């Protein structure tokens, strides 16, 4: 019963419009609401299994390129500081600056790169399944 009530409350909170969360001194700004990732591809269905949410704060030092990788699950984030460029294996590019949201590509090889002079800091939320990876790195060639 507690789980049912908790699920109902969470559903209610997630479906409320931003204005319904406002009160004295509180402001809600919708940063993203979409059914597609940043490259325009439709988001896939959520995987079956025990849901598991992972939240990461990732800091990318200046002049650093992350390894080529892909995400098998839906994930979205907000760049808190700096600038970040996301590039797919086919050359599609997204430029982010502090405050920009991203709904990441799924099952598509890509990398992030900080070409700036200051660290880039991003918070990313992953909607995965317990005991399943949220990121897969490209296998190294021997």
CATH number at residue 42: 2.60.120.10
CA neighbor of 54 nearest in space, from 112, 136, 128, 131: 128
How confident is the model over 111-139, as a mean pLDDT? 96
Q: Are 34 and 87 in contact (CB under 8 A)?
A: no
**Phi–psi pair at 70, nearest 5 degrees:** -140, 160
1 inside domain: no
* Distances 74 to 32, 102, 134 between C-alpha atoms, Å: 14, 11, 9
Confidence at residue 25, expressed as pLDDT on a 0 to 100 scale: 86
Query: What is the structure's pLDDT at 1?
Result: 57
d(C-alpha 72, C-alpha 135), whole Å? 7
Mean pLDDT of 71-80: 98
Mean pLDDT score across all residues of the chain: 89
In a domain? residue 122: yes
Whether 20 has a pLDDT exceeding 80, the answer reads no
> What is the reported pLDDT for 139?
82
| 5 belongs to a structural domain | no
Determine if the pTM surpasses 0.85: no
Average pLDDT, stretch 44-62? 96
Task: Count the neighbouring beta carbons within 10 Å of the beta carbon of residue 84.
Answer: 25
Range of the domain at 78: 34-137
Q: Are 122 and 77 in contact (CB under 8 A)?
A: yes
Categorize the per-residue pLDDT at 14 as very low, low, confident or very high, splitting at 50, 70 and 90. low
**Nearest by Cα to 102 from 74, 65, 127:** 74
Higher pLDDT, 27 or 9: 27
If one counts the domains in the chain, the total is 1
Phi-psi bin for 40: left (phi > 0), alpha (psi -120 to 50), beta? left
């Amino acid at each position: 019963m507690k789980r049912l009530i908790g699920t109902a409350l969470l559903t209610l909170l997630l479906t409320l419009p931003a204005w319904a969360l406002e009160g004295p001194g509180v402001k809600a700004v919708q940063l993203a609401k979409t059914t597609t990732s940043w490259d325009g591809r439709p988001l896939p269905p959520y995987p079956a299994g025990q849901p598991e949410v992972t939240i990461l704060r990732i800091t990318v030092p200046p002049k650093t390129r992350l390894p080529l990788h892909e995400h098998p699950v839906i994930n979205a984030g907000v760049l808190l500081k700096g600038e970040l460029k996301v590039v797919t294996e086919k050359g599609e590019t997204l430029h982010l600056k502090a405050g920009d949201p991203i709904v990441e590509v799924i099952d598509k090889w890509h990398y992030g790169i900080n070409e700036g002079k200051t660290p880039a800091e991003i918070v990313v939320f992953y909607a995965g399944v317990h005991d399943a990876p949220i990121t897969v790195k490209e296998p190294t060639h021997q």
